[in-house]
Structure 1
Amino acid sequence: MDAAAGVPATGIAWLDAARRENLEAFAETGLPEGRNEAWKYTPLRALSQRALALADAAMAAGADVPGALFALPGVDGGRAVFVDGVFRADLSSLDAGTGVELAPLAVALAAQPEPLRFALANRYRRGAADAFAHLNAALATDGVVLRVADNAKVAKPLQIVHVTSGAQADTAWHARVLVEVGKGASVDIVEHFVSAGAATQLGTVVADYTVREGATLGLAILQDASPATTLIRRGQVRLDADAQATVHALELGGALVRHELTAEVVGDRARFDTRGVFALAGRQHLDTQLEVHHKARDTASDALWRGIADGRSRGVFRGAIVVAEGADGTDASLSNKNLLLSGSAEIDTKPELEIYADEVKAAHGATIGQLDERSLFYLRSRGIPLVEARSLLTLAFCRAALESLPNEALREHLGDLLVARLPASTAAE
């Protein structure tokens, strides 16, 4: 995979310099190889051999994308829609209510670039592990800026939609998301990844979430891209004192998908919880990298993730909890359980725990197995057919990670999507 010959000029000196530097870093390191520990379970050889051009903005602006593609029950607040990384005003609704600023990144940069300098001029460490972050920082020309004012209570969930049009084969698009939740504020956000066509495309998204003192963020992620899509996402969450953030993720689509989610719990008494499910079939490959860094006193985190794999698919999950020196009183736990529904499927799970403080409560665990034969026998003995029994057990296994989502309508919809995508081996012996 070749880097572009140059970066789109913005006329903002510090931003253009940062973009050039990131493109140079990408050109220097290239994509990570199997010897890179962070990518050892996700080979990129096939991607590296593809020639990907930047998606054409004019084509993205005119692509036919029906609103029904990203409509979600229980999600009726402000909405920002991007097609191949290009903002679509005709599909968006930026009126998000009092105390909320929701704007395309390009518009925010044109109006007041300086407040965005710290986020956009960030220098990633130069290394192959950050290759896609470099690429995104160099080539992302648009995205979302979302600011919630201090003490604002946003009643309706906001939606950020990334659509892969499928109309531009062998192209790449890049988008940036910047979210700040002010002190004492609360907001629910849904990030939605969908495809309008099946052409091979690469998308990268880098998202930064800052949750100020006493604020609350609820983030639901629904990834339902086409089987031809390669999607690389990096999310970074920072929590100040007494802040809370909860992430629910459902991963269903994509050919090659990687989701890196890192939390920096830097304020006393802050809490970060995550719940996630992936359901894979065919030859799908999904890699989840979760890191939670506790850096303050009396903080807490709880991670519960489930995975199922069928066909010749492969799932990867790495969950790391790091408790820094001085972060006494930390209470952290991580659980990752997985089901293999095919003899050819594979799931690699790697829980990690690093503790450098005293008076800490921490636990982690991971399992990989198959459907319980005794439970199947019990259901069948009650007259439930094998097909339905396997589906019921698989759904119950996965739903444990979604049942805490407070938006009932959205929760039920995600459950329905999960039922529709259950691997075919749940329907046959």
Structure 2
Amino acid sequence: MSEILDITQAQAQLQTHGWIARKSEAFHHLPPPALETWLGTEPAAVASTQDWQVTVQDGAASVQVQHLSALHAAERATLFADLPAPQGEAAPFAWAHRALCRKGLRIQVAANGANAAPVRLHIHHTAHTAVDAPLVVLDVAPGARCLLLHTHSRSGDLQQITQNLHMHIRVGEGAVLQHLRIADVRTADHLAHTQNVDVQGHAHYHQALCTSGCAYQLQRSDIDLHGPGACVRHAGLLLTGTHNVDHQIYTRHNAPDTDSHVQMLALASGKSRSVANAFTYIAPGARDANVHQRLWGIALDGQPRLILRPHLEILHDQVAAVHGATWGALPEDALFYAQQRGLAPDTARSLIIEGKARALLERALPNIESDGDGEASSSLLSAWLEGDWLPQAINAHLAATTLQESA
């Protein structure tokens, strides 16, 4: 059967080309676990559509959703149709994903009128097996506007998961997609979340990622700006704690008048490793490209490794490019003034960290429901910030640090 052949081809690619090499430039600071970790040992089960929940809050008529089994020949062909062949240093992750993938999701968002409110979409994935490889393909039609919340969880009996998630996102001409990603992480997990994003002319893709550390975690985005006026904004909030995160953003400016802003904030403790890797390529024809990279690393306690790597490859003379990296501790004056106002030290640290996190996220997700790109955060982000995930994650981070200090 063709689906078996496709899986066999993926396995053959891994056997021929091997796993991530130790000398790999992209992965040598935090090498991933061996290939066997990502393939698992259990036999393939019948694909279930209950792993994915899709909720459309506004604009349901504009959204088409397909739940597809990768074990059914016709459905697998639809699921992987028109997706690019894996290539580059992260290709082994993609081949491992194709060898294991059992189910996936395809979503199409159509334009619903120039004056209509943005489509509000929430996709949630629940891991039911210890090793899985989910797939999402999202197409945002030209002129459409979409607010996407993307979350993860696991079934109650899974204390540890190994997850190789792949997303393919295509933002059509003049479309706007705001994407808030919240990664559910436990300390023993192995995660590799990879995105491939194509942004067409005058389209905007704004993404904010919030995650904490675990035994191994890769968060990688490969973003291509294909048409004049294409824009991407990305913010990565890495609450690494005493564990590890490898965050990689590769942005390619392939057309003139393109714009990219990448910002990452890593907060780490103990002997953890946090890698913030921002690479931006400006092609020879990308006249008047505008590039901004800003990476921050804050060591809260202990001696964590903070690897901050801004990198530019510029092949055109007429561009504006700014990059920088800063690492240190929380500002002592802010802590002092907070405690002078009667706040306990732990409360003061938590509030300062939360303030920095909110500012980072709000810069990535401006309000697209107002006139122009105002300073206010988007309704997508505002609604999420009203919840308790962020303060709980920060407090858990600080509690783990305190526990390690007292050990």
What TM-score, normalized by structure 1, do the two folds share?
Answer: 0.81
Closer/same/farther in 2, CA of residues 115 and 339 from structure 1, 3 Å limit: closer
**Preserved CA contact (<8 Å) 1:388 1:427:** no
Query: How far does residue 290 in structure 1 lie from its aligned partner after superposition?
Result: 0.3
Closer/same/farther in 2, CA of residues 134 and 50 from structure 1, 3 Å limit: closer
Letter in 1 for 2:127: T
Partner of 2:311: 352
Query: How far does residue 172 in structure 1 lie from its aligned partner after superposition?
Result: 1.7
Partner of 1:138: 99
**Preserved CA contact (<8 Å) 1:198 1:226:** no
Please list every run of 5 or more consecutive structure 1 residues that lacks an aligned counterpart in the other structure. Answer: 1-10, 59-84
Partner of 1:161: 124
Letter in 2 for 1:203: Q
Please list every run of 5 or more consecutive structure 2 residues that lacks an aligned counterpart in the other structure. Answer: 366-377
Cα distance in structure 2, aligned partners of 1:112 and 1:336: 39
Closer/same/farther in 2, CA of residues 116 and 56 from structure 1, 3 Å limit: closer
Query: How far does residue 381 in structure 1 lie from its aligned partner after superposition?
Result: 2.8
Partner of 1:372: 331
Q: 1:384 aligns with which of 319, 343, 352?
A: 343
Q: Secondary structure at the match of 1:374?
A: helix
Cα distance in structure 1, aligned partners of 2:37 and 2:132: 17
What are the residue-to-residue correspondences of 1:18-417 with 2, within 5 Å?
18-45=6-33, 52-54=40-42, 57=45, 86-88=48-50, 97-106=60-69, 110=74, 113=77, 116-119=80-83, 122-125=84-87, 129-151=90-112, 155-165=118-128, 171-195=130-154, 196-252=156-212, 254-282=214-242, 284-404=243-363, 405=365, 406=378, 407=380, 408-413=382-387, 414-417=389-392
Q: Are 1:420 and 2:395 an aligned pair?
A: yes
**Preserved CA contact (<8 Å) 2:299 2:328:** yes
Query: How far does residue 312 in structure 1 lie from its aligned partner after superposition?
Result: 2.7
Closer/same/farther in 2, CA of residues 235 and 51 from structure 1, 3 Å limit: closer
**Preserved CA contact (<8 Å) 1:99 1:148:** yes
| Alignment root-mean-square deviation, CA | 2.9
Closer/same/farther in 2, CA of residues 51 and 222 from structure 1, 3 Å limit: closer
**Preserved CA contact (<8 Å) 1:224 1:253:** no
Letter in 2 for 1:104: H
**Preserved CA contact (<8 Å) 1:301 1:331:** yes
Q: Secondary structure at the match of 1:184?
A: coil
Aligned length: 383
Letter in 1 for 2:91: D
Cα distance in structure 1, aligned partners of 2:117 and 2:12: 41
Query: How far does residue 326 in structure 1 lie from its aligned partner after superposition?
Result: 0.9
Cα distance in structure 1, aligned partners of 2:211 and 2:173: 30
Closer/same/farther in 2, CA of residues 93 and 217 from structure 1, 3 Å limit: closer
Query: How far does residue 49 in structure 1 lie from its aligned partner after superposition?
Result: 7.2
Query: How far does residue 34 in structure 1 lie from its aligned partner after superposition?
Result: 2.6
Query: How far does residue 50 in structure 1 lie from its aligned partner after superposition?
Result: 8.9
**Preserved CA contact (<8 Å) 2:286 2:316:** yes
Letter in 2 for 1:411: L
**1:117-165 deviations in Å (ceiling 9; x for gaps):** 221xx3223x764211111122212111001124465745222222234
**Preserved CA contact (<8 Å) 1:150 1:182:** yes
Letter in 2 for 1:138: A
Partner of 2:375: none
Closer/same/farther in 2, CA of residues 55 and 332 from structure 1, 3 Å limit: farther
Cα distance in structure 2, aligned partners of 1:244 and 1:326: 20
Query: How far does residue 231 in structure 1 lie from its aligned partner after superposition?
Result: 1.0
**1:293-348 deviations in Å (ceiling 9; x for gaps):** 00111111111211101233221110011110010011110111111112232211
Query: How far does residue 19 in structure 1 lie from its aligned partner after superposition?
Result: 3.3
Query: How far does residue 92 in structure 1 lie from its aligned partner after superposition?
Result: 5.4
Partner of 1:3: none
Deviates more, 1:191-200 or 1:331-340: 191-200
Q: Secondary structure at the match of 1:157?
A: strand
Cα distance in structure 1, aligned partners of 2:391 and 2:272: 22
Closer/same/farther in 2, CA of residues 409 and 93 from structure 1, 3 Å limit: closer
Closer/same/farther in 2, CA of residues 356 and 262 from structure 1, 3 Å limit: same
Closer/same/farther in 2, CA of residues 385 and 426 from structure 1, 3 Å limit: farther
**1:203-238 deviations in Å (ceiling 9; x for gaps):** 111111011111111111000222222111110110
Deviates more, 1:38-47 or 1:334-343: 38-47
Cα distance in structure 2, aligned partners of 1:31 and 1:112: 24
What TM-score, normalized by structure 2, do the two folds share?
Answer: 0.85
Q: Secondary structure at the match of 2:303?
A: coil
Cα distance in structure 2, aligned partners of 1:109 and 1:154: 38
Partner of 1:74: none
Closer/same/farther in 2, CA of residues 94 and 343 from structure 1, 3 Å limit: closer
Cα distance in structure 1, aligned partners of 2:298 and 2:124: 30
**Preserved CA contact (<8 Å) 2:209 2:236:** yes
**1:18-59 deviations in Å (ceiling 9; x for gaps):** 43322211123333243111110112357757982247646x
Q: Secondary structure at the match of 2:356?
A: helix
**Preserved CA contact (<8 Å) 2:38 2:162:** no
**Preserved CA contact (<8 Å) 1:257 1:286:** yes
Q: Secondary structure at the match of 1:421?
A: helix
**Preserved CA contact (<8 Å) 1:164 1:197:** no
**Preserved CA contact (<8 Å) 2:52 2:125:** no
Percent of aligned pairs with the same residue? 24
Deviates more, 1:187-196 or 1:324-333: 187-196
Cα distance in structure 2, aligned partners of 1:131 and 1:242: 33
Partner of 1:7: none
Closer/same/farther in 2, CA of residues 241 and 155 from structure 1, 3 Å limit: closer
